Amino acid sequence: MRLLIVGSLGGQLTAATRIAMDKGASVVHADTLETALRTLRAGRGADLVMADVAIPIAALIAALEAERIHVPVVACGTSTDARAAVGAIRAGAKEYIPLPPDAELIAAVLAAVSADNRDLVVRDEAMLAVVRLADQVAASEASILITGESGTGKEVLARHVHRRSNRADRPFVSVNCAAIPENLLESELFGHEKGAFTGAVARRVGKFEEASGGTLLLDEISEMDVRLQAKLLRAIQERVIDRVGGAKPVPVDIRILATSNRNLADAVREGSFREDLLYRLNVVNLKIPPLRDRPADVIALAEHFGRKYAEVNGVPHRPLSSDAKRELIAARWPGNVRELENTMHRAILLSSGAEIGVEAIRSPDGARFEARVESRPADAAARAAQTAEAVTRALVGRTVADVERDLILDTLDHCLGNRTHAAKILGISIRTLRNKLNEYSADGVEVPEPGTARIAMA
């Protein structure tokens, strides 16, 4: 985790820095607000800014918003300075840490804002196969496209790949292409020079340069405008970028990961995504199956979130009851892991007994959860069994010869009269097929000629 500490490094703030470093954070110091902004503009990115309340917190947060630098801010100050603490929170600080520093509190804050604390919980064989492939290719320099429905954990898997790569000790930088307006995304990716456009008050290094030496995740890349895709393609191919308003190319050394919840092959056919860019990104495809196809993961994740939110909310950890487990497995989970996490958070708050019962598994509006189950696997199996039974009943009363004749002629019709193809599908020799067809012709039955199909008779 990258931590930027802003303020004069007096004794207490120095102690907070030492605690953060002991917890594994990479720490950079800036003594003034302007120095902090220069540090962030220069591409020495941060996952968290810890600022002394002696620094004007409101001005810091306003400056970050004005320059579209997205990083959470926590304030710190002496425990007796209650007015400064309230002012910092009102200004937009995410948390206030009293000084002298408490090691456990700093560790908790770092864990809360660090993206790397998202655990990859896998038990189902369908997902284990994806993780094994991810581990196999992680050490390479190949671009990887991670696909799957929204909420399946694409960014979590991307971070797992980074941690297993040769770049693990270098930055991991993520850009949500769907969350940034089209006219600002180019600057966010490639940076800009001072005066390149209105509001460009200073040179700003983009995410490509910030991630140099490490990994850049292009999240939901399918939402990127097709015109910007051409510039992205050049950056990936040539490993150079052009800042907006810049006069010369800037070399970068990055590994590209991308995610999409859409079928990019369909987007290529629609003209909204470049085919050559897809080939560059999709050297390896990690396709995450939806949660409804990973029943073992449903329970493992539910138990993981149960422990997590019991601790967060300061309530006893309760195991899932058997009925609750069946309810969770039967659900379709259109929101996938993200929906399951929210469901378990609610269940922790609603539970009161020794176990989390089915009555605590509720939708956001408070309705019983089973009322939301759209289509269970058991229902699909029952429908398939009913269909098979109906087909079988339709054959009752007919001779084997009649059924065989219809099967052969329907298969031949499907193959547009191609005898060789039909024989392969039926699993018989071409000679046997020809003999059967000669028998049918002799009985006055229409047999399709090669290249034709039977005419259906009313």
pLDDT in tens, 333-345: 999 999 999 999 9
CA 264-267-273 angle, to 5 degrees, is 90
Which stretch, 139-143, 186-190, 369-373, has highest mean pLDDT? Answer: 139-143
Q: pLDDT at residue 23 above 90? A: no
Place of tokens 């800014």: 49
Q: Please report, as a single letter, which amino acid is at residue 417.
A: G
Segment 163-178 mean pLDDT: 92
Token reading at 262: 């859409």
Segment 100-118 mean pLDDT: 67
Q: pLDDT at residue 457 above 70? A: no
Please state which of the ranges 5-19, 175-189, 226-240 shows the lowest mean pLDDT: 5-19
170, burial (CB in 10 Å: exposed 0-12, middle 13-18, buried 19+): middle
Question: Which residue has better confidence, 143 or 246?
Answer: 143
Question: Which residue has better confidence, 164 or 413?
Answer: 164
pLDDT in tens, 359-415: 999 888 777 665 444 444 455 555 555 545 555 555 666 788 888 888 888 888 777
Strand locations in 311-420 (E): none
Where do the H-state alpha helices sit in 140-240?
154-163, 182-190, 207-210, 226-238
Label the pairing between strands 240-241 and 215-219: unpaired
In contact, 75 and 82? CB cutoff 8 Å: no
Helix (H, G, I), strand (E, B) or coil at 301: helix
pLDDT in tens, 194-209: 877 777 778 888 899 9
In contact, 32 and 75? CB cutoff 8 Å: no
Helix (H, G, I), strand (E, B) or coil at 60: helix
Q: Which helix H or strand E contains 48, and what residues bound it?
A: strand 48-52
pLDDT at position 103 is 75
For the four alpha carbons of 311, 316, 321 and 324, in that order, the dihedral sign comes to negative
Label residue 92 by pLDDT band (50, 70, 90): confident
For the four alpha carbons of 420, 421, 426 and 427, in that order, the dihedral sign comes to positive
Q: In order of start, what are the domains of the chain with their CATH numbers?
A: 2-114 (3.40.50.2300), 125-287 (3.40.50.300), 292-372 (1.10.8.60), 397-458 (1.10.10.60)
Please state, in angstroms and rounded to a whole number, the distance separating the CA atoms of residues 278 and 284: 11
Please state, in angstroms and rounded to a whole number, the distance separating the CA atoms of residues 412 and 421: 8
pLDDT at position 118 is 62
On average, the pLDDT of the chain sits at 84
Segment 282-310 mean pLDDT: 93
Ramachandran category for residue 245: left, alpha or beta (phi over 0 → left; psi -120 to 50 → alpha): left
In contact, 330 and 378? CB cutoff 8 Å: yes
Contacting residues for 360 by C-beta, under 8 A, at least 6 apart? 324, 346, 347, 350, 351
Q: What number of other Cβ atoms are within 10 A of residue 24's Cβ?
A: 12
In contact, 447 and 440? CB cutoff 8 Å: yes
Say what angle helices 322-330 and 336-350 make with each other, to 10 degrees: 150
Q: pLDDT at residue 293 above 90? A: yes
